[in-house]
Amino acid sequence: MSSLAGWDDKRWHYRRSLASRVAVLTTLAVAVSIAVMSLGAFMVMRMQLQDSLDESLLDRAEKAAKYTALSEMTRRDVPSWMLGAADVRIIFITSDRGVLTADDGPEITLGRPELDVAEGREADSVRTIVAAGDVEYRVATVPAGNGAALVLAQPLSSQHRTLAKLGTVMLVAGGLGVLAAALAGWAVAANGLRPVRRLTRSVERIAITEDLAPLAVEGDDEIARLAAAFNQMLTSLAASRDRQRRLVADAGHELRTPLTSLRTNLDLLAQADTDGGLPEEARRELLDDVRAQIEELTTLVGDLVVLAREDQPAAVIESIDLADVTERALARVRRRAPGVDFDVRLDHWRVTGDATGLERAVLNLLDNAAKWSPAGGTITVRLASGVLTIDDEGPGIPAEDQPHVFERFWRAEESRSMPGSGLGLAIVRQVVDRHGGRVAVSDAPGGGTRLSLSLPGEQPVPA
């Protein structure tokens, strides 16, 4: 139960505002400081008063002990106040435990320390004795000659009153100090946290309105740095949202074409069946067209899933030979493009990465080259020092279009009628970026387009 109560107290503390917590902590710190300082001052004052009283009593006792007439007057029942000793009581004690005093105050029981002084075993003695009626006396004893000692006893009531007044003053002053600290702490916290509240309101407004406008940054303190960090986050969030909107818009546009064609072809089939059917050849051509559109739609959806998903499937990271990856991709593209020749020369280059992802990236580059190469054309594939270059003999890409070829859904005007989703090269860039490499496009030396892919790695050592 005690642990649950402590947890509830902690939760209550953190449910309070930051300004109130700062004010409370400031007040507690000041209160502890004032308490420690007041206690220290009180103890120092008490010891100082005690030392001063002891020095005064011993000095007066030593001076009085020099006059033997004092003991004679005490024997004649002359009280100490008549001798100008005010509230100090004068007592003589002998080594045979005889006590001589003319004072009629509370009985003071002297003991061994005073006898030791009377017997000459101690030079002097100062201590506190509680007399009858719980009255405290500070007792100073000095030798008085002939086996006797002079004892001066002064009540501590005046010292206690002084310390009580001092304690009251310190308590009141400390309380006022704590109150002033609480008010000052609240004022400082409220004023110092004003930028935080302003930043909080701005962030809450963004959460409600989804307006990703940058926040105002003032000064160069921690709050300004926090606002600048929020602005960077807002910039990234705005860019991500723009990419998402563009992806949705482009995907809707790209999906509309094959879906429209599919619906048209299916309507034709349904109408033909109603009117008696199509000739077998026309029906076969129409079904082949539907099948091709379904394959195109499947490829497009698959590419969209690869690009859009943020949680990429767990990849097997291993040491692989980029030449082997390229050979596997070449084997697949040769089956897809039997009318194109390949001039291949590959050096070994060992990289660390995902073999499946890299094979898809290389395959997309080869598919792009095969798509643009004319029948009977040659695709030149070279791998040297970690740079894979693929040259085709197609029409090439204009210089103004080259910066856009790796963007999602970007397609040149002359490629609008050709099959493809416009996502293949975007997938290439995504895979290469994930492996810390780079991909570029340029003009091939013999005409056409050169696509180059470079990855960090090393040349394997021959066995």
Return per-residue pLDDT of the chain as tens, 463 residues.
445 444 455 554 445 666 677 778 888 888 888 888 888 888 998 899 888 888 888 888 888 777 665 555 454 454 554 444 567 888 888 877 777 776 677 788 888 888 888 888 888 889 988 888 788 889 888 888 778 888 888 888 888 888 889 888 888 888 888 888 888 877 777 776 677 777 777 777 777 777 777 767 776 767 777 777 877 888 878 777 776 776 666 666 556 656 777 777 777 777 776 666 667 777 777 777 777 667 667 766 766 666 665 445 555 678 888 899 899 888 888 877 788 888 889 898 899 888 878 888 888 888 888 887 888 888 888 998 888 988 888 887 777 777 777 776 655 555 544 554 566 777 788 888 888 888 888 888 877 888 889 988 888 766 5
The answer to whether position 394 is within a domain reads yes
DSSP 223-241: HHHHHHHHHHHHHHHHHHH
Helix (H, G, I), strand (E, B) or coil at 202: helix
Q: What is the Cα–Cα distance from 118 to 112, expressed in whole angstroms?
A: 10
The answer to whether position 203 is within a domain reads no
150/169 same-domain check: no
Helix (H, G, I), strand (E, B) or coil at 108: coil
The answer to whether position 434 is within a domain reads yes
pLDDT at 434: 83
In this structure, what CATH number is given to the domain that contains residue 143? 3.30.450
Q: Is the dihedral of CA 376, 452, 430, 358 positive or negative?
A: positive
Which amino acid belongs to residue 20? S
pLDDT at 353: 86
Helix axes 424-434, 355-372, angle to 10 degrees: 150
382/397 same-domain check: yes
147/188 same-domain check: no
The residue from 290, 308, 326 where one domain ends is: 308
N- to C-terminal Cα separation, the chain: 71
The answer to whether position 169 is within a domain reads yes
Report the Cα 351 to chain-centroid distance in Å: 36
100 CB neighbour count, 10 Å cutoff: 14
260/400 same-domain check: no
146/190 same-domain check: no
Which amino acid belongs to residue 326? T
pLDDT at 249: 66
pLDDT at 279: 72
The answer to whether position 340 is within a domain reads yes
Helix axes 280-308, 222-274, angle to 10 degrees: 170
226/348 same-domain check: no
136/268 same-domain check: no
180/325 same-domain check: no
pLDDT at 7: 44
130/106 same-domain check: yes
In this structure, what CATH number is given to the domain that contains residue 357? 3.30.565.10
Name the domain count of the chain.
Answer: 4
Q: Look at residues 363, 342, 368 and name the one whose alpha carbon lies nearest to residue 420.
A: 368
The answer to whether position 208 is within a domain reads no
The residue from 263, 286, 308 where one domain ends is: 308
pLDDT at 58: 87
The answer to whether position 345 is within a domain reads yes
Q: What is the Cα–Cα distance from 381 to 288, expressed in whole angstroms?
A: 33
Q: What residues pair up with 451 in beta bridges, in sequence order?
A: 390, 441
Instruction: Answer yes or no: pTM beyond 0.85.
Output: no
pLDDT at 311: 46
353/378 same-domain check: yes
What domain range is 259 assigned to?
222-308
18/80 same-domain check: no
In this structure, what CATH number is given to the domain that contains residue 236? 1.10.287.130
The answer to whether position 62 is within a domain reads no
206 CB neighbour count, 10 Å cutoff: 16
Q: Look at residues 365, 321, 295, 278 and name the one whose alpha carbon lies nearest to residue 455.
A: 321
325/438 same-domain check: yes
